[in-house]
Structure 1
């Protein structure tokens, strides 16, 4: 057996599929993709993808997040990227913030002093 660091980095990501509804807090060290509906807070160590059909009603704390779907709640992450189909309806706290044309975010955005904001043009 390898050490725990190697075992963690090779762990299978978690997928919550379209049509799946989860109520309650989710905690994970590995990468998570949400295509279903989460009603609760998420604490994700590695990173999170919210798919186009993904809906999160709760707060998120993760290292990095890419949003194609909808988040209703506070998002705290080192890196946040909102794709053209994505929406974050709530407070955003981050260091790096990328927003594609067409994306929606409402609420206060607070960033670290050395944070970078990039407005990306959607590729057609």
Structure 2
């Protein structure tokens, strides 16, 4: 019980910052949230949220809980929750997420796959069909 709250708090806290003057090459794994204002060439695997500042750049693949993009990503992203592309943000590549928000001047070029909303709709439809079948059986 207590560890879940602690883990959730850890995911909400930004514990790592890649500064504007920093370039990172390789695989970056973060167990909390991260802010990227520099350049990352390689995979980013984050259990928390990823914030990419206006000067931030990621090239390759990104997995995270949520993505807040004011900079640029060239590559594929797989996000559990929401992608928010701000007016200065740019995403070129395949995006997989539950929700996406693109501000007026935000840029997205690629393939978009909505994951959570389709699953929920399918489950609701299947459960309502099961209930109707049950009602028909009971009436017979």
Superposition TM-score tier, normalisation by shorter sequence: 0.7 to 0.9
Runs of 4+ off more than 3 Å: 2-5
Q: Which has the higher contact order (CA 8 A, sep 6+)?
A: 1
Which residue in 1 is equivalent to 2:58? Answer: 56
Alignment: residue pair count: 114
Matches within 5 A, 1:75-94: 75-77=77-79, 78-94=81-97
Larger Rg: 2
What TM-score, normalized to structure 1?
0.84
What's the counterpart of residue 111 of structure 2?
108
Distance 1:107 1:17, change over 3 A: same
Give 1:24's aligned residue.
26
Residue deviations 1:4-28 (CA, integer Å, cap 9, x gap): 8527735652000001000000001
- Gapped regions of structure 1 (runs ≥ 5): 116-124
Greater Cα offset, 28-37 or 2-11: 2-11
| 1:68-95 CA-partner distances (Å, limit 9, x unpaired) | 0000000110210000000001001011
| Structure 2: gaps of 5 or more residues | 119-140
Select the structure that is richer in strand: 1
Normalised TM-score (structure 2): 0.75
Tell me: CA distance 1:49–1:12, structure 2 relative to 1, closer, same or farther (3 Å).
closer
Q: CA deviation at 1:56?
A: 0.4
Give the whole-Å Cα distance in 2 for the aligned partners of 1:36 and 1:60.
15
Instruction: Give the match's secondary structure for 1:102.
Output: coil
Relative to its length, the structure with more helix (as a share) is: 2
CA contact (8 A) 2:14 2:35 kept: no
